[in-house]
Chains A and B, each alone.
Chain A
């Protein structure tokens, strides 16, 4: 038992995946904390290590991947201990993943898949679990739950299926919900409904929420705190308000700049030039250097560390932006 005052505390986490062409450093020294009732957004592009971070927090890094360093603590107990992780997974920490249609077995009924989690973790029989599953479906907005429990995932629409997955994730009254791109596979109107559902459940149940996404619009409405992940490192963190209006890291600013907006007339979509770095090669300097419009020689030779600045925010940059009004979407736009 290591002392930790937080619900979830990740310290200097390093996750590596050895491949034939070298070792991929997917997560490089990430630290973060989540407390009860927090809503934390983790934002980054594909390959930034955000999903790996989420899976690591559930003790689900699969071979050949491994945790090369750092610590993950859940209420002071190490989730690197597989036995601890097994007990906590689904019981105290739940996860909702990207593609609801792929998230459940196509050949088992919804009822079977909802109740199997409950009968394992809660001290209840299968009949009681079915009743509870029906109540949960009702709670997430699925009509006629009795009939629905006997159906298979392919008999649901994407949005409905994601509601089922969310209901299942909440079935054992967890303290924390990790949602890894929960809306990416859904169409836009459904996205808004699902986000609304997650947000309201989070507030009603007092859940800690970790929302992982590449879409700043998604976290804008749902999260109070944000962390921006780039190449396996946190490059900036702060409140949603701070990051949206006054980004200090050029990458955060670039992400905001590439989010399409309805209220600004633009002829073409803005993209961030270049590609994310190859995580098999360790860079000496800041990993955003090749794509950064503000890069100097110092950026290429020395890696900036995450420095706390004003009220609760931090960034890792040698040449931070001066906190001018950011070009991003206004706070709250993510909600429809």
Chain B
């Protein structure tokens, strides 16, 4: 286990560095930050001066090497927009994002597993058909659209929740639900189909014949088996929520997290801040992957066994 973890951790560091290199190259290809930062009437001299200040006049490989060397010390440079360390900006905006992601993900996984298990117990029944229809809507409708519809309906129309911003729990409900809806759908569909598979296995049939109760078969035998598939998808979903969904939902609801910050940074061509956001998200993504792998070994004894032998 220890050796395995060490191997995974070193792979994770490589992944993060690779992501940084890609982002570094891409952000330098898509636009000229100096042009955005200076007023329209700026002269060539002004440009050259600012480039020199920002170190953008050096050879690109030198910039990259310095950049990576600083990044491993968690120094990503000063935000061009806020004129202070980009890492500070990101870490300041991280807690609201983590709160929103935790809420949306928990909502998505809990409701998804419940719907999946209930549907999978009686596939084709009316409960199953209604659940699948509901769930497919959540998966298919784009989040920004659902977000806007919810604002119109629940905030403007019914006045139950604030339209945007952050504060008490009431601010969390709409963005949390919108963030979690596609997760509900995909988790439910995967849980449902693996429940159907599990409940049709020989060992479930034989457990019934041995006299194990239906409740125990569903809650222990089938759900533990189905849990393996669900965990895999849940890991992916968490990554999707963190790296994708949060940006959209935070922007729609003006939620002061890193997703909203990333959008603002992109609009302002603040490449340093964009890189810092990507850096932090990349670290979280590889961490989630490692956690999912460890969760497997806890759920499925065969995985541990294979690794030893």
Contact = CB atoms under 8 A, between A and B. Distances in A.
Contact of B220 (A104, A108, A154, A155): A108
B305 to A, nearest CB: 7
Contact of B213 (A97, A120, A154): A120
Contact of B225 (A55, A105, A172): A105
Contacts of A121: 211
Contacts of A107: 224-225, 228, 299-302
A89 B209 contact: yes
Interface residues of B, number: 24
B302 A108 contact: no
B interface secondary structure, majority = helix
A117 interface: yes
Interface of A: 55, 58, 60, 86, 89-91, 94-95, 97, 99, 102-109, 113, 116-117, 120-121, 152, 154-155, 165, 168-169, 172
Contacts of B203: 102-106
Given A117-B210, A120-B213, A165-B206, 7 more contacts: A97-B206, A102-B202, A103-B202, A103-B203, A107-B228, A120-B211, A154-B301
A32 to B, nearest CB: 19
A108 B221 contact: yes
Interface string B52-94: 0000000000000000000000000000000000000000000
Contact of A97 (B209, B228, B301): B209
4 closest A-B pairs by beta carbon, nearest first, are: A90-B211, A102-B202, A95-B209, A103-B206
B302 A89 contact: no
Contacts of A86: 211
Contacts of A103: 202-203, 206
B202 A116 contact: no
B207 interface: yes
Contacts of B46: none
B305 A154 contact: yes
Contacts of B209: 55, 58, 60, 89-90, 94-95, 97
A60 B208 contact: yes
Nearest to A92: B211
Contacts of A154: 301-302, 305
Given A102-B202, A105-B225, A107-B225, A168 B210 contact: yes
22 contacts: A60-B205, A60-B209, A89-B210, A89-B211, A90-B210, A90-B211, A97-B202, A97-B209, A103-B206, A104-B207, A105-B203, A106-B203, A107-B299, A107-B300, A107-B302, A108-B220, A108-B221, A116-B212, A152-B302, A155-B305, A165-B206, A172-B211
A277 to B, nearest CB: 27
Given A108-B221, A121-B211, A116 B216 contact: yes
A209 to B, nearest CB: 16
Given A97-B202, A116-B216, A106 B302 contact: yes
Interface in B211-231: 211-213, 216, 220-221, 224-225, 228
A288 B221 CA distance: 43
B201 interface: yes
A168 B203 CA distance: 13
Contacts of B213: 120
Contacts of A102: 201-203, 206
A168 B221 CA distance: 16
A94 B210 contact: yes
Nearest to A174: B211
Nearest to B228: A107
B122 to A, nearest CB: 10
Nearest to B306: A154
A120 B217 CA distance: 12
A82 to B, nearest CB: 11
B211 A91 contact: yes
A161 B295 CA distance: 27
A209 B193 CA distance: 38
Contacts of A108: 220-221, 224
A313 B224 CA distance: 50
Interface in B21-64: none
B203 to A, nearest CB: 5
A103 B201 CA distance: 9
Contacts of A97: 202, 206, 209
Nearest to A100: B206
Nearest to A98: B202
B212 A90 contact: yes
A221 to B, nearest CB: 25
Contacts of B221: 105, 108
Contacts of A55: 209
B225 to A, nearest CB: 6
A90 B207 CA distance: 9
Nearest to A165: B206
Nearest to A55: B209
A164 B220 CA distance: 20
B221 to A, nearest CB: 5
Interface string B185-215: 0000000000000000111111111111100
